[in-house]
Amino acid sequence: MSAAIDLIRAARVPMESRDWIDGNRNCRRRRTGTLGPVLGCNSYVVLCEANLAGLHMVEDDGWGGHIIMEDSPREIRKHLPILIHGTGRILKTGLGLGCVVRGLLSKSDVAHIDVIENDPRIIRHVGPEFAGNSRVTIHQGDALTLDIDGRWDFAWHDIYTEGNDGLQVLHGKLIKRYYGRARVQGAWNFPASVARALPIRLLGAKRTRRQRR
């Protein structure tokens, strides 16, 4: 349990990070208030997009909208399968707030992380934290079409679609795309019922008799 807590702490966005607005995306630190016991923190960083799915949550000054990601301990726990088990060379689709990358870098047995991120704004605002780190390479492009060389010990998929519409279908396509190049794969919030139906074992899902390692 203590190892998981340490990984969650390491994965969180640094307190000195700055709020930003870029186009229809914005990122800022919020106080949790009465939600503190639920989220497991006193403040957390939220990445939002002003789109149809979250238009009713956009404030007059442009902040807010549909929540893409947050760095609360409650949310980061969903990434514990890769944070705990990930070693060696790792592929991460979607940079987001950098939580998974940050947590993995706290482990000495992680050799290198390839990150594929489609949105240049995320790379512009989150990427500089990892610039110059020889253990991280950020590639800009669509993980479903971008070709990068390499094989990985683990792959973790966590991309974004507006309102999360069809998200797990896309995660399934990514798992298929990188099958054979990543020894073990997993995805954020991937449905257990779907994972059990696949012929390969996914991180965070129990193995069935028909699944291979």
With a CB cutoff of 8 Å and minimum separation 6, the contacts of 155 are 90, 91, 92, 93, 174, 175, 178, 181, 182, 184, 185, 186
Length, in residues, of the chain: 213
Find, among 83, 123, 88, the residue nearest to 99 by Cα.
83
Structure tokens of 179? 């099958």
- Full DSSP string of 56-114: GGB-TTS-B-EEEEE--HHHHGGGHHHHHH--EEEEEE--TTSHHHHHHHT-TTEEEEE
User: Angle CA(59)–CA(63)–CA(65) in degrees, nearest 5?
Assistant: 75
132 φ/ψ sector (left φ>0, alpha ψ -120 to 50, else beta): left
Residue type, 213: R
Q: Which CATH class is domain 78-197?
A: alpha beta
Question: Where are the strands (E) in the chain, listed by range?
Answer: 20-22, 25-31, 43-49, 66-70, 88-93, 110-117, 136-140, 152-157, 182-187
pLDDT in tens, the chain (213 residues): 689 999 999 999 999 999 999 999 999 999 988 888 888 899 999 999 988 767 777 887 878 888 899 999 999 999 999 999 999 999 999 999 999 999 999 999 999 999 999 999 999 999 999 999 999 999 999 999 999 999 999 999 998 877 566 778 889 899 999 999 999 999 987 877 777 767 677 776 554 444 444
Q: Is 207 helix (H, G, I), strand (E, B) or coil?
A: coil
Torsion of CA 55, 56, 62, 64, to 10 degrees: -90
Residue 199 CB neighbour total at 10 angstroms: 9
Q: How many Å apart are CA 119 and CA 169, to the nearest integer?
A: 20
Helix (H, G, I), strand (E, B) or coil at 171: helix
What does pTM read for this prediction? 0.88
What's the CA dihedral at 54, 56, 59, 63 to 10 degrees? 0
Q: Which residue ranges make up each domain of the chain? A: 2-75, 78-197
Helix (H, G, I), strand (E, B) or coil at 209: coil
